[in-house]
């Protein structure tokens, strides 16, 4: 099978390689044609969870992008898309963000999407695509970090929030934290509530493949 190379930027400093490669592994599972290499931004063990930490991440994302050897596409694996517009300006290859990818896919299911993340604000790419169509009822109860998502309590709290968003009129549920992808909660929500759920790592993987096909074939 023909292989394409994707450089995956993690917007959190992780020393554990298995943790660092978690998103890349999902991307390769979804699109076997893609081979990933993952790089973390430096000096930001707390990741991106606010407008301030997003702004801090931007120059680090640009620096991280320079570490890949001849990639076909660069994926910034964060729903906030830190550094994505800047990298698009700087590079000649396609740059994909989890946030803009997820927002575009969510738009396919209707004009209103309910966002679930670990912050109280909706990521900027969603604001840009949905404007007033975003339904945001805040964080799932008891969930403040991706670690909280890994417990059964965290998962059921996410499903409860999704139910409230559906009742509030959402056409789809958008998971706006990539930690939601690694716990695989999208399928749980779809099963429980019968509503399309947009998973940010799946969305970035599929859009990256679109960009590869658009520019390489």
Q: Which of 36, 100, 157, 178 binds a second copy (CB under 8 A)?
A: 100
Nearest-angstrom CA–CA distance, 158 and 109: 20
Q: Return the closest-CA partner of residue 6 out of 89, 69, 66, 75.
A: 75
Give min distance, CB of 182 to a second copy, in A: 14
For helices 152-167 and 185-193, angle between their N-to-C axes, nearest 10 degrees: 50
Please identify which residue in the block is written with the tokens 């007033």: 132
Nearest-angstrom CA–CA distance, 78 and 47: 10
Nearest-angstrom CA–CA distance, 175 and 15: 26
Q: Which is nearer to a second copy, 108 or 150 (CB)?
A: 108
Does 30 interact with a second copy (rule: CB under 8 A)? yes
Does 203 interact with a second copy (rule: CB under 8 A)? yes
Q: Which of 38, 101, 119, 174 binds a second copy (CB under 8 A)?
A: 101
Q: Which is nearer to a second copy, 168 or 187 (CB)?
A: 187
By CB under 8 A, the count of residues binding a second copy is: 28
CA quadruple 175, 146, 4, 68: dihedral positive or negative? Answer: positive
Does 130 interact with a second copy (rule: CB under 8 A)? no
Q: Is 40 helix (H, G, I), strand (E, B) or coil?
A: strand
Does 199 interact with a second copy (rule: CB under 8 A)? yes
Q: Which is nearer to a second copy, 40 or 175 (CB)?
A: 175
Q: Return the closest-CA partner of residue 208 out of 11, 36, 14, 43.
A: 36
Q: Which of 17, 32, 67, 160 binds a second copy (CB under 8 A)?
A: 32
Does 4 interact with a second copy (rule: CB under 8 A)? no
CA quadruple 104, 122, 148, 7: dihedral positive or negative? Answer: positive
Does 23 interact with a second copy (rule: CB under 8 A)? no
Q: Which residues have a Cβ under 8 Å from the Cβ of 136 and sit 6 or more positions away?
A: 114, 115, 120, 121, 122
Give min distance, CB of 81 to a second copy, in A: 11
Does 217 interact with a second copy (rule: CB under 8 A)? yes
Does 197 interact with a second copy (rule: CB under 8 A)? yes
Contact set with a second copy (CB under 8 A): 1, 29-30, 32-33, 100-101, 104-105, 107-108, 129, 186-187, 190, 196-197, 199, 202-203, 206-207, 209-210, 213-215, 217
């Amino acid at each position: 099978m023909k292989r394409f190379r994707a450089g995956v930027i993690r917007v959190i400093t992780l020393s554990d390689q298995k943790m660092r490669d978690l998103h890349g592994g999902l991307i390769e599972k979804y699109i076997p044609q893609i081979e990933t290499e993952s790089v973390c931004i430096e000096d930001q063990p707390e990741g991106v969870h606010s407008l301030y930490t997003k702004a801090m991440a931007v120059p680090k994302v640009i620096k991280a992008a320079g570490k890949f050897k001849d990639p076909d596409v660069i994926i910034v694996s964060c729903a906030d898309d830190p550094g994505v517009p800047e990298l698009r300006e700087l590079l000649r290859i396609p740059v994909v963000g989890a946030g803009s990818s997820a927002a575009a896919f969510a738009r396919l299911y209707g004009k209103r999407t309910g966002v679930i993340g670990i912050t109280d604000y909706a990521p900027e790419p969603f604001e840009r695509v949905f404007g007033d169509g975003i339904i945001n009822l805040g964080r799932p109860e008891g969930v403040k970090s991706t670690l909280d998502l890994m417990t059964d309590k965290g998962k059921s709290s996410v499903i409860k929030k999704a139910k409230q968003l559906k009742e509030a009129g959402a056409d789809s549920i958008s998971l706006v934290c990539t930690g939601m992808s690694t716990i695989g909660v999208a399928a749980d929500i779809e099963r429980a509530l019968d509503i399309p759920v947009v998973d940010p790592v799946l969305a970035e993987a599929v859009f990256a493949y679109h960009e590869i096909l658009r520019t390489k074939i």
